[in-house]
């Protein structure tokens, strides 16, 4: 008899096989998988007593805590739909996302209660507000409800194509869209992660990646499936990462390239605390080869890259290492690791196609758009059939990412289609120019955008963040670039800034730079 594919089954197995093993660490608190599972059951029971039923939406605004992790099991096993919201947004954003999702319960961490309280009168569809971090006037208390609840609740039948979560996109160019992820989507992605990046009960996973971001790239379930240890990290900075990693024996973590840059740029005293041999998965933006090389050289960590989107649950490719890569020079290995790679065995089919829908040649030069179909592609955008039809109407999900395919079949993103710079009829990859700038010894971060140019139509303009105590003139940077790339790709202008505008998941907001609306302080 078949049973539905659902990531909830991973906790059932972990409780059975690893019940006495520490499964969750949050500061000084520790829970075995048996204790963690019991807490999830009691919270399911409490939610059911509050009236939550199959199909209802429950929104969370919280950092990487045990309570947030519990939501990924307690809410779905009721047949309800979890809505993990980016906690770095503002009250107006919370209002829109809660209203759009139709959430009937809102659970919030201490730092976000005031923001929710300020819009509470507008949230007429919300029946209950729950404080996750202790009693607050006018709020139900999470721990009290959980402690008072029975571990028994009515388990509804759950189909593998039932909605598991609604994850909102960053909404950098329009209102955020609600990505509908099914139980099957998440199960497939979890198994694919374990197939390509195996974990065991001996591993400890540090939560540097926000759980709200595409369900923590499904590691909310992947770590449990392996019987490994979740190490929660509510507050993030370099020294805390290194200190926690050393204390808890961390072996794995995930991070966007901007986070890797921050870790690699941490003070030497902080990096000295870092344990060696940590395996790192990166995604969210194409990393520069030099960033990967710095992490591996400075910290003794190993980096692997995946590629995907919130709409693909999220991984559809991985830069899988091959035996022949080991014979290459360190620089060449880092360049290959900067590619987005090949399909995961569970994700489905990935292609790079031209404007007519034909596969581009495997020459590493001809650009096309990445399209995908298969087991991890979302069910669609919540309450937005027009947007769903626009990106999936022909049976393929159109990512909007421009890429080339190398002779070995490995895909490499050259840009977002909307970020390609066309100067004098030549296509310029902003990603390529940024990667070159990051090789300059004085530069910590770089973003390149196209700006109007009277003669060439567009020209590349670079925004650069210098390393502490270092700088370089525009002429020096221009000369550096000309020594390593075609002259038409060299930025015409350079703007030093103290920071680059980013989304909560570390992606640089180039539209802000283009429109000149960033809150940027020129040096």
Domains identified in the chain and CATH numbers: 8-182 (3.40.50.12780), 236-414 (3.40.50.12780), 420-515 (3.30.300.30)
pTM here is 0.88
Half-sphere exposure of 272 (CA within 13 A, CB side): 3
Is residue 258 a contact partner of residue 47, using CB atoms and an 8 Å limit? no
Distances (CA, A) of 89 to 133, 262, 320, 500, 504: 19, 21, 34, 17, 8
Q: By C-alpha distance, which of 2, 185, 169 is closest to 76?
A: 185
Distances (CA, A) of 288 to 104, 298, 323, 350: 43, 16, 22, 22
Q: What is the pLDDT along the chain (523 residues), one digit of tens a residue?
A: 899 999 999 999 999 999 999 999 999 999 999 999 999 999 999 999 999 999 999 999 999 999 999 999 999 999 999 999 999 888 999 999 999 999 999 999 999 999 999 999 999 999 999 999 999 999 999 999 999 999 999 999 999 999 999 999 875 456 789 999 999 999 999 999 999 999 999 999 999 999 999 999 999 999 999 999 999 999 988 999 999 999 999 999 999 888 898 899 899 999 999 999 999 999 987 788 899 999 999 999 999 999 999 999 999 999 999 999 999 998 899 899 999 999 999 999 999 999 999 999 999 999 999 999 999 999 999 999 999 999 999 999 999 999 999 999 999 998 888 787 878 767 788 888 999 999 999 999 999 998 888 777 788 999 999 999 999 999 999 999 999 887 889 999 999 999 999 876 677 888 888 876 334 334 4
Pairing type for strands 252-255 and 204-206 reads parallel
How far apart, in whole angstroms, are the C-alpha atoms of residue 294 and residue 246?
20
Is residue 224 a contact partner of residue 196, using CB atoms and an 8 Å limit? no
Report which secondary-structure segment, H or E, holds 82.
Answer: strand 81-84
How far apart, in whole angstroms, are the C-alpha atoms of residue 436 and residue 263?
20
**Count of residues in the chain:** 523
CA angle 273, 194, 503 (to 5 degrees): 60
Is residue 197 a contact partner of residue 304, using CB atoms and an 8 Å limit? yes
Peptide bond into 314 cis (omega under 30): yes
């Amino acid at each position: 008899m078949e049973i539905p594919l659902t990531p909830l089954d991973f906790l059932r197995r972990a409780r059975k096989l690893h019940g006495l093993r520490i499964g969750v660490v949050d500061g000084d608190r520790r829970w075995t998988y048996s204790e963690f599972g019991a807490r999830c059951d009691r919270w399911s029971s409490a939610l059911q007593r509050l009236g939550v039923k199959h199909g209802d939406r429950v929104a969370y605004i919280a950092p990487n805590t045990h309570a947030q992790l519990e939501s990924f099991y307690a809410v779905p096993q009721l047949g309800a739909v979890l809505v993990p919201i980016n906690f770095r947004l503002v009250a107006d954003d919370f209002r829109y996302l809660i209203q759009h999702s139709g959430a009937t319960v809102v659970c919030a961490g201490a730092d976000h209660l005031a923001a929710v309280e300020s819009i509470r009168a507008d949230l007429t569809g919300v029946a209950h507000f729950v404080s996750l971090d202790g009693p607050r006037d006018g709020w139900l208390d999470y721990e009290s409800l959980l402690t008072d609840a029975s571990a028994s609740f009515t388990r509804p039948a759950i189909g593998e194509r039932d909605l598991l979560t609604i994850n909102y996109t960053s909404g950098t160019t329009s209102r955020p869209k609600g990505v509908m992820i099914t139980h099957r989507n998440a199960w497939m992605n979890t198994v694919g992660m374990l197939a390509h990046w195996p974990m065991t009960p001996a591993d400890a996973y540090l939560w540097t990646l926000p759980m709200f971001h595409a369900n923590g790239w499904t590691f909310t379930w992947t770590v449990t499936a392996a019987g490994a240890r979740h190490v929660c990290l509510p507050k993030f900075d370099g020294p805390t990462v290194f200190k926690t990693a050393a204390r808890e024996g961390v072996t794995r973590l995930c991070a966007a390239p901007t986070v890797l840059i921050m870790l690699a740029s941490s003070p030497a005293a902080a990096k000295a605390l870092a344990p060696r041999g940590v395996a790192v998965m990166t995604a969210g933006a194409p990393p520069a080869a030099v960033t990967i090389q710095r992490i591996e050289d400075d910290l003794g960590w190993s980096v692997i890259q995946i590629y995907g989107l919130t709409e693909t649950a999220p991984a559809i490719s991985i830069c899988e290492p091959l035996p022949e890569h080991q014979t290459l020079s360190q620089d060449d290995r880092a360049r290959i690791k900067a590619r987005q790679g090949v399909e995961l065995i569970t994700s489905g089919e990935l292609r790079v196609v031209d404007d007519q829908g034909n596969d581009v040649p495997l020459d590493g030069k001809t650009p096309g758009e990445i399209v995908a179909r298969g087991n991890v592609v979302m069910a669609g955008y919540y309450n937005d059939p027009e947007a769903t039809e626009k990106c999936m109407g022909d049976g393929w999900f159109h990512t909007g990412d421009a890429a080339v395919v190398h002779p070995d079949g490995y895909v490499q993103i050259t840009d977002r289609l909307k970020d390609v710079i066309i100067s004098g009829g030549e296509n310029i990859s902003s990603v390529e120019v940024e990667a070159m700038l990051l090789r300059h010894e004085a530069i910590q971060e770089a973003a390149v955008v196209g700006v109007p140019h009277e003669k060439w139509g567009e020209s590349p303009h670079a925004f650069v963040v210098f390393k502490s105590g270092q700088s370089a003139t525009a002429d020096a940077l221009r000369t550096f670039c000309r020594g390593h790339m075609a002259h038409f790709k060299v930025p015409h202008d350079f703007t030093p800034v103290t920071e680059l505008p980013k989304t909560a998941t570390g992606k640089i907001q180039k539209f802000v730079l283009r429109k000149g609306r960033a809150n940027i302080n020129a040096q």
